[in-house]
Structure 1
Amino acid sequence: MLITQTVEQDIRSVVMTVMNKWKFQCANTTCLPFTKLNTQNLIGCQVACLVQSQCEAVTYHLLTSNCELFMDISNQSGNMMTDIDTNTMIVISEARSSPAFTAQWNSTGKTVAGDAAGSSGIASNRLNFPYELKIDSSNALYITDYNNNRIQKWIAGASNGATVAGQINGASGQSSTLLYTPVGLVLDSNDNMYFSDRGNSRIMFWRNGASSGSMIAGTGIGGNANNQLQNPSMIEYVPSTNILYIADTMNHRIMKYLLNASSGIVVAGGNGQGLSNTQLSKPYGMALDLSTNSLIICNYGANTVVRWILGANSWTLIAGSISGTSGSSATLLYQPVGVTLDQYGNIYVADSGNHRIQCFLVGHSAGMTIAGTGSPGVSASQLNAPFGLILDNQLNLYVADTSNNRVQKFARY
């Protein structure tokens, strides 16, 4: 059986009127910007507005490089004041075009790692709570084998995996050769590994082919100082700038580390656990969207997926209920964990509590189920609390079917 979805990029184009040396001065809070960020120049501020579908105006502050985005301008245009430090631009017309990209995924998955029947184990042909997935330069699959305290490399078509970090026998510990419940994983161009060693509250670097790793973030002891982490989850690495982004889950924040730095800085959240747009609630999954200079964050505890533009002090909602309500409809989520993007900007979410994978087209808040049935099970068409997911360069979908102790491939046609 095939599921046919039209996956498309929703392209926004706008015409803006420019008002040099003017800014908004309003009598009520509808004039407050919905987000603020720093951009290098006026063009960067315009682009930030372009990628936010609700943005109707911007004000750019020349001296501070502060960019303010406005959503409700119903009473703003008549309430302007002069300010030689600012330029304001208001959208006067816009258009959207959608060059169609049609994707079809087989709704029946194929087990490519672990046991198709869902049995866990320590043997090389078994997994125990697989969490995150990555694909290396040879198209081999890397799997964080959470409860086996190791990372497995699984060559396409193989019936067994090989341990590339941690111990074959699943031993846990804090030394440089041992792991304790690894979660997030990224690979660089040389297939060196960066991963979160959650139980040890640290981030490890493990060179390709090495038998031990080194700690590059965290102290190995959980805490909330800027040099500490508390049960970190997914990570992102930007090799061009040597920047590491870490979902510091139980501190409800995203940390940014320069490689080899002894401490990090908070770039999202860090204001306690909560539902406001300046807070996060158990951020698990995370994806870096370089085209919009933002992080896509699975807000597990709030049942939402949000976008946090780097440099901003708040998020905007992508999917789920802003009130944190969980559910199984097309617009709701329940404990989302993993997230990834395709080259068109569409967002794919491992909706773990609903046992499904949801695809959200650019600019759309209603998702489409492309894998799983919504009910937990071990059949080839079902998932059981999926955590991680990844697309290969052909847009085949790989899912860490976590509670079924296997990895499923849903082929794209």
Structure 2
Amino acid sequence: MGMSTGTTVAGQANATGGLTLNYLRGPLGIVVDEYSNIYVADRNNDRVVVWSDGALSGSLFAGTGTAGISMNQLSEPYGLARDSSSDTIYVADFKNHRIMRYSQSNSSGTLVAGGNGNGTNQTQLLLPNAIYFDSLSNSLLIVNTGAHNIVRWVLGASNWTLAAGNINGTAGTSSTHLKSPTDVTLDPMGNMYVVDRNNQRIQFFPVDETNGTTILELACIERVIVGLPCANVLSGQRLLYE
């Protein structure tokens, strides 16, 4: 704790990208398992690689390194999520507008959400970004960035239900709208937090509510960056950022 110098655990310390498995190129999402294996969405290499603790090179986990639509291919993977009970990895296959599931023993994935072309109807996804696996409901919360909403897709279902944002994919600035969201998470009580990127804010949604409350906005974030205090309410508790 308190260290200000980072240690490179995947990719190259000199910040160079490349195609071979000891390099990354435009990495985005990561998950870490209980054995300290790091799964990385290596976006611009169209693959997911896994780096074991202390390794000098990664191993191919999903994708082939060439963009495509086959079950063993990805096209710019973004977010990752993991189901620890089954050791399964879910991948937001951004440019293919789908979510894929991969097991440890199979290099080909299984389609679990989307895959019906890009669009805004309830069987489609549009540039899915981050994902969150909700074990209590056996579902995925999907940041449907291109449609400006967060959707819940129960595993095994053929369509999503709306969790936040506009059901028709319309961007906006009101408390019921989002604009190009990029991340989502739940707290232990099931409340939802959304990074509403192009509205420069973090939105809080109580359980089963689609009307959000802004708990952090750009003005507050800028104050934190320059070292000024910023009061913020989070889950009913008063927090002071200094």
Tell me what 2:232 maps to.
none
Greater C-alpha radius of gyration: 1
Tell me what 1:55 maps to.
none
User: In the TM superposition, what is the alpha-carbon distance from 1:164 to its structure 2 partner?
Assistant: 1.0
User: In the TM superposition, what is the alpha-carbon distance from 1:338 to its structure 2 partner?
Assistant: 0.8
Moved more, 272-281 or 316-325: 316-325
Q: What does 1:14-413 align with in structure 2 at a 5 Å threshold?
A: 156-373=1-218, 378-380=222-224
* Equivalent AA in structure 2 for residue 329 of structure 1: S
CA distance in 2, matches of 1:315, 1:346: 19
Per the alignment, do residues 315 and 213 of structure 1 end up closer, same or farther by CA in structure 2, a change over 3 Å counting? same
CA distance in 2, matches of 1:321, 1:379: 30
Aligned partners of 1:372 and 1:381 also within 8 Å: no
Aligned partners of 1:184 and 1:234 also within 8 Å: yes
Q: Percent identity?
A: 46
User: In the TM superposition, what is the alpha-carbon distance from 1:157 to its structure 2 partner?
Assistant: 2.2
User: In the TM superposition, what is the alpha-carbon distance from 1:376 to its structure 2 partner?
Assistant: 9.6
Per the alignment, do residues 361 and 381 of structure 1 end up closer, same or farther by CA in structure 2, a change over 3 Å counting? farther
CA distance in 1, matches of 2:124, 2:136: 24
CA distance in 2, matches of 1:381, 1:302: 30
RCO comparison, higher one (Cα < 8 Å, 6+): 1
Aligned partners of 2:46 and 2:74 also within 8 Å: yes
User: In the TM superposition, what is the alpha-carbon distance from 1:193 to its structure 2 partner?
Assistant: 0.5
1:169 match: secondary structure = coil
CA distance in 1, matches of 2:119, 2:40: 27
1:236 match: secondary structure = strand
- Please list every run of 5 or more consecutive structure 1 residues that lacks an aligned counterpart in the other structure: 1-155, 383-394, 396-409
The structure where strand makes up a greater share of residues is 1
CA distance in 1, matches of 2:41, 2:240: 29
Per the alignment, do residues 294 and 353 of structure 1 end up closer, same or farther by CA in structure 2, a change over 3 Å counting? same
- Please list every run of 5 or more consecutive structure 2 residues that lacks an aligned counterpart in the other structure: 227-234
TM-score by length of structure 2 reads 0.90
CA distance in 2, matches of 1:196, 1:171: 17
User: In the TM superposition, what is the alpha-carbon distance from 1:377 to its structure 2 partner?
Assistant: 7.1
CA distance in 2, matches of 1:296, 1:239: 16
CA distance in 2, matches of 1:266, 1:379: 43
User: In the TM superposition, what is the alpha-carbon distance from 1:174 to its structure 2 partner?
Assistant: 1.2
User: In the TM superposition, what is the alpha-carbon distance from 1:239 to its structure 2 partner?
Assistant: 2.8
User: In the TM superposition, what is the alpha-carbon distance from 1:242 to its structure 2 partner?
Assistant: 2.1
CA distance in 1, matches of 2:43, 2:194: 21
Aligned partners of 1:219 and 1:228 also within 8 Å: yes
* Equivalent AA in structure 2 for residue 380 of structure 1: V
Per the alignment, do residues 246 and 411 of structure 1 end up closer, same or farther by CA in structure 2, a change over 3 Å counting? farther
Per the alignment, do residues 169 and 411 of structure 1 end up closer, same or farther by CA in structure 2, a change over 3 Å counting? farther
* Equivalent AA in structure 1 for residue 6 of structure 2: G
Residue deviations 1:37-59, cap 9 Å, x none?
Answer: xxxxxxxxxxxxxxxxxxxxxxx
User: In the TM superposition, what is the alpha-carbon distance from 1:381 to its structure 2 partner?
Assistant: 7.1
User: In the TM superposition, what is the alpha-carbon distance from 1:319 to its structure 2 partner?
Assistant: 0.6
CA distance in 2, matches of 1:376, 1:324: 28
User: In the TM superposition, what is the alpha-carbon distance from 1:221 to its structure 2 partner?
Assistant: 0.5
CA distance in 2, matches of 1:181, 1:311: 31
CA distance in 1, matches of 2:9, 2:185: 24
2:34 match: secondary structure = coil
TM-score by length of structure 1 reads 0.54
CA distance in 2, matches of 1:365, 1:377: 24
Aligned partners of 2:83 and 2:135 also within 8 Å: no
Alignment: residue pair count: 231
User: In the TM superposition, what is the alpha-carbon distance from 1:411 to its structure 2 partner?
Assistant: 6.1
Tell me what 1:97 maps to.
none
